[in-house]
């Protein structure tokens, strides 16, 4: 077994272990276990794992929303930073091409790349808006742009700024959502 196989098995075990752990524990239990003073580091690590695992659902959004009482600005910054560090790996996977990406998915991504490269001036705006408003994984964009050999910084800076907007907004929304919903539905 070579080093690449060992790395893949380790990533698979990490993903399965994390999934089982998150399935059987609530966000509140996780925050209590880690402690409030380490919550920002936990948010960074969970978001990093969310960015590392391609097309997966590490539920850092649930932890972000359950972290009431913490500074939403710092929570958003730590989550967005973790996602962007993790998405760097996805960009690298795309840049390496067919090494990791199955052939069928690679063909779909190539079509997306062709469209994107036909409109290069719009891409930073599209990346920023995607990062700001779409709660899904960034993997489709970063892998595609890696396959297209689109410059790393031209992808990651606008996408990262969009992720900062999204995660900070989500943290502020979570902070005020309970009172807002209570006032709308249970106004007495």
* Residue 7 within any structural domain of the chain: no
* Residue 78 within any structural domain of the chain: yes
* Residue 183 within any structural domain of the chain: no
22-36: pLDDT as tens digits:
677 776 676 666 666
Boundaries of domain holding 67:
27-173
* Range 82-91 average pLDDT: 87
State residue 152's pLDDT score. 92
* Residue 126 within any structural domain of the chain: yes
3-15: pLDDT as tens digits:
667 777 777 777 7
* Residue 69 within any structural domain of the chain: yes
Look up residue 61 and give its two tokens: 């959004």
Q: Rounded mean pLDDT of the chain? A: 79
Residue 161: pLDDT above 80?
yes
Polymer length in residues for the chain:
188
90-120: pLDDT as tens digits:
888 888 865 666 777 777 777 777 777 787 8
Counting other chains too, the contacts that 132-135 makes at CB distance below 8 Å and 24 or more residues apart are 132/162, 132/163, 132/165, 132/166, 132/169, 133/162, 133/166, 134/166, 135/61, 135/166
State residue 130's pLDDT score. 93
Look up residue 25 and give its two tokens: 């524990």
Please return the burial class of 157, using the count of CB atoms within 10 Å of its CB with bins 0-12, 13-18 and 19+: middle
**Among 111-115, 136-140, 182-186, which range has the highest average pLDDT?**
136-140
* Residue 6 within any structural domain of the chain: no
Residue 44: pLDDT above 70?
yes
* Residue 162 within any structural domain of the chain: yes
* Residue 2 within any structural domain of the chain: no
Percent of the chain at pLDDT above 70? 77
Q: Does pTM top 0.85 for this prediction?
A: no
pLDDT-wise least confident of 134-148, 154-168, 173-187:
173-187
Domain total of the chain: 1
């Amino acid at each position: 077994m070579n080093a690449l196989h060992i790395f893949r098995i380790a990533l698979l075990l990490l993903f399965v272990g994390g999934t089982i752990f998150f399935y059987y524990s609530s966000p509140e239990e996780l925050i209590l276990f880690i402690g409030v003073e380490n919550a920002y580091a936990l948010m960074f690590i969970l978001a990093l794992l969310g960015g590392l695992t391609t097309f997966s659902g590490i539920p850092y959004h649930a932890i972000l929303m359950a972290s009431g009482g913490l500074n939403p600005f710092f929570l958003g910054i730590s989550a967005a930073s973790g996602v962007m560090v993790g998405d760097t790996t996805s960009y690298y996977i795309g840049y390496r091409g067919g090494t990791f990406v199955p052939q069928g998915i690679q063909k779909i991504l190539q079509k997306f790349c062709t469209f994107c490269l036909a409109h290069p001036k719009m891409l930073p705006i599209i990346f920023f808006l995607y990062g700001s408003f779409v709660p899904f994984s960034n993997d489709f964009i970063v892998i595609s742009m890696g396959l297209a050999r689109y410059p790393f910084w031209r992808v990651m800076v606008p996408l990262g700024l969009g992720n900062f907007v999204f995660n900070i907004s989500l943290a502020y929304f979570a902070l005020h959502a309970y009172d807002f919903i209570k006032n709308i539905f249970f106004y007495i």
